[in-house]
Amino acid sequence: MADIGLSAFSIFFMQSPSFLSHQREMQAGNGCSNCQTLFGIKKLPSDNHIRSMLDEAEPQHLFGQFDNLVDHLKSHNGLEPFRCLDGRVLIALDGTEYFCSRKLHCRNCSHRKRNDGGTEYFHTMVSAAVVVPGDSRAIPLQPEFISPQDGHAKQDCERNAVKRWLAANGKRYASLKPVYLGDDLYANQPIVDTIQSVGGDFILTAKSLSHKTLYEWLDGAEINSTKRRRIKKGRKAATHIYRWLNDVPLRDGKDATHVNWFEIEIINTKGKTTYRNSFVTNIAVDETNVGDLAACGRARWKIENETFNVLKTRGYNLEHNFGHGDNYLASVLATLNLLAFAMHTVCDVLEALWQKARSVLAARYRFFDHIRTIVCYLIFPDWGALIRTLVDGEPPPTVKSARKQPKPS
């Protein structure tokens, strides 16, 4: 089973759907391949065998690998660049769709009716990522899949999936001093109470249309706490205006959880408002931290830009149908894809040789283009040899050609 899982993972790590087929050719011609030397695969299974076996394996079996990556980062001080707000770590949560079809479906699909009367089957998940303002890197954590739940007549939803994610993982990540970020959908009492019950803090978007009680209370209060700050980036400058009020009810009722509310408005040099948003948090807001809290709240978008956008448009092809199956295949492959992205990010943070190769080749697509190309022709004894070839252009001394050389005449 290890060979099957590693074979599927290698496709996502190399960002090459044809990686296994090339390595089978190498194996046939040389008796060895990069699957063995780089991934430790003893025997290459067929594509159909991989899909049939993974379809029966629940994705939760892979979740511990995300914990291992976080532990590795902690032990090598790799989380220090991601700390803010007095040593806290921001964990952004959001949902995304990764499969949709009108023909293919399985027992774990959700479904929806379209205006033309047809039915769409789809898969979604709640994903989590460690982010920080001012850094383009994001470290994906284990997902929670939105799928039909045993004993429930209604379809599963994102809010329920978030609560399951927190219940399953919150205490494990409590040592990071996490601050959970989320959109307006998460700014409700069941979720904020769950966050605090597992040792976390929160900064969540809170819009007036969905928080009538909160904003009615704010309308009746006198908000004297304000701060103006002029920020210059390059030649452009803008004025940031902050307003805040502590200890306000999140909802109606005597048992309402009380939160701290703050707002940021950005005005350009022409006097036009270019950005405005409001948040709720359980962290006390004052003049010394409101700017940092607002920056952290806005960092929620990094799970969209630095995680989902990268996964869908930068070579990982999250929305591509690598295989659907009848049970768990789609979710297992999505998990392996996330895991590959997480490992790439850990290498970006910790591995000096990997960092050097990334700097030499600059864009992410160029980096993986080079990897995809050279592993089709050369067999590398280990990852260090491969990355050194990317850096200096010289093949390792033990390289073998993947193609049989013609005999000299």
Concatenated DSSP letters for 23-62? HHHHHHHHS--HHHHHH--SSPPPHHHHHHHHTTS-GGGG
Is residue 83 situated within a structural domain? yes
Residues 105 and 176 in one domain: yes
Residue 2 and residue 66 in one domain? no
Say if residue 226's pLDDT is above 50. Answer: yes
Q: What is the predicted pLDDT for the residue at 151?
A: 56
Q: Does residue 172 sit in the same domain as residue 294? A: yes
| 39 and 182 both lie in a single domain | no
Beta strand 258-268 with 83-84 is: unpaired
User: 158 lies in a domain?
Assistant: yes
- 45, 71: one domain: no
Residues 48 and 161 in one domain: no
The total domain count for the chain is 2
> In the predicted model, is pLDDT for residue 293 greater than 80?
yes
Which whole number is the average pLDDT over 231-247? 91
Q: Is residue 380 domain-resident?
A: yes
The alpha carbons of the chain give a radius of gyration, in whole angstroms, of: 24
What integer is the mean pLDDT of 124-138?
96
67, 108: one domain? yes
Examine the fold and report which residue of 313, 334, 363 is the final residue of a domain before the chain moves on.
Answer: 313
31 and 119 assigned to the same domain: no
Q: Is 79 within a domain?
A: yes
Domain presence at residue 219: no
User: How high is the mean pLDDT of the chain?
Assistant: 92
Residue 400, in any domain of the structure: yes
Highest mean pLDDT among 147-151, 235-239, 293-297: 293-297
pLDDT at 407: 47
Whether residue 164 lies inside any domain: the answer is yes
Q: Which of 45, 129, 124 is nearest to 334 (CA)?
A: 124
| pLDDT, tens digit, 9 for 90 and up, residues 140-164 | 999 999 998 765 657 889 999 999 9
Same domain, 141 and 285: yes
Q: How far apart are CA 305 and CA 303, in angstroms?
A: 6
Same domain, 19 and 100: no
What is this structure's pTM?
Answer: 0.93
46 and 146 in a common domain: no
| pLDDT in the model for residue 409 | 41
The verdict on residue 223 lying in a domain is: no
Expressed as residue numbers, the domain containing 109 is 61-205+280-313
Query: What pLDDT shows up at residue 364?
Result: 85
